Amino acid sequence: MKLLLLLSTLGSGGAERVMTLLANHWAAEGHSVTLVTTYGRYVEPAFALSPEVTLRSLDGGPGEATCGRLRRLLALRRIMLDGDFDGAISFLSNVNVAAILARIGLSIPLVVSERTYPPAYPLTPTYECARRGLYRFADVVVMQTDDGARWLAEQLPSARGFVIPNPVIWPIPEARPVVLPSAIVPPGRRLLLSVGRLSPEKRFDLLLEAFARAGDVTRDWHLVIAGEGPSRALLEGEAKRLGIADRVSMPGQIGNMAEWFGQAEAFALTSSFEGYPNALLEAVVSGVPVAAIDCLTGVRNLVARVSTASSLRATPTRHASRRTFACCSARLGPVPLRPRSTRESSTPSRGLRINGSPA
């Protein structure tokens, strides 16, 4: 098959990671895969992309004038016309809108996918109006959770929805950059790991406060937040203000996450919302005890079925903080989650897949 994949960029986000995974998988299966990024000129992908995947980009950016957006829309339509594709898959709301418009009058089957929980991430009025008016013209609208599917059924009843959670690959693949845990975590310290973009919705400030409030419980722990983003300076300043800068590291992007999950004694997630959190998935299948805030969608779908995970309220009280790290310290019992037990709890639409191929 000839497949067209559409995404805004190939940065370090969860949508970019899953799209790269899908592109690589289908290329390895012998399909012809073209991946088009719709914003900006070519940049080096954050995740390793197979050389068998054809990568193209449309010039421009999210803040460009209307004529520029129209030019990119026409360029995308030209790619669809010339490519003789058997199907197209689009990720993210704004790209989905462009894909539907570019496909008008063409017979290419089109699947669009929301990569977060829409009520938690409002669009501009223009894009919201476009989403409501256009999604019914997509062949399928993929949501990551049942909560997302319910929102779609209530808000856009004419759209054809389907739930597909994120896949997870086992063993977790390695990419660049390689950062050794021994280079970051001092000898004798226990590793508390968190992973995500350094941005407000991940609420790493809440994690820092909980880590500081837990007091003696965390004295022999070292918190590592893997990822990069615009909140780095604020978070580093907060760690200094709380007096824990010597027990917190933010090493940036890490490509060898399997090694880090192997070293971690606990994993924490404090997001205000998630689509279907890739890092939490990987922590779960690696057998790392998890303490996660019960945020809007994503978390409860995993935590409710995992014996080594604990769901916590969002308020960083001393009691909640101590509970978090008491759970971490106790390791929540044995580690059962190598592939066998995860497969036993999986279903095609809701479960985890640990078999080297996307769900």
56 three-state secondary structure: strand
pLDDT tens figures, 166-184:
988 889 988 889 999 999 9
> 153 and 211 share a domain?
no
Residue finishing a domain among 137, 163, 189: 163
Between the alpha carbon of residue 271 and those of residues 196, 275, 292, the distances in Å are 9, 10, 8
> 91 and 225 share a domain?
no
> 23 and 150 share a domain?
yes
Q: Is the residue at 171 inside a domain?
A: no
**Residue 351 scores a pLDDT above 50:** no
pLDDT for the residue 275: 84
pLDDT tens figures, 11-49:
888 899 999 999 999 999 999 999 999 986 667 888 889
> 290 and 207 share a domain?
yes
> 263 and 129 share a domain?
no
> 35 and 149 share a domain?
yes
pLDDT tens figures, 200-209:
999 999 999 9
How far from each other are the two terminal CA atoms of the chain, in whole angstroms?
Answer: 18
> Among the listed ranges 136-150, 267-281, 331-345, which one has the minimum average pLDDT value?
331-345
Between the alpha carbon of residue 297 and those of residues 119, 166, 200, 272, 316, the distances in Å are 11, 13, 17, 10, 20
Model-level pTM? 0.81
Collect contacts of 120-129 with beta carbons under 8 A, ≥24 apart.
Answer: 120/201, 120/272, 120/273, 120/296, 120/297, 121/273, 123/93, 123/94, 127/93, 127/94, 127/97
Q: Provide the domain limits for residue 198.
A: 181-341
Distance CA(126)–CA(147), nearest Å, equals 24
pLDDT tens figures, 50-63:
999 999 998 654 45
Spatial CA neighbour of 209 closest among 324, 305, 345: 324
Distance CA(136)–CA(317), nearest Å, equals 45
Q: Which residues are bridge partners to 4 per DSSP?
A: 34, 88
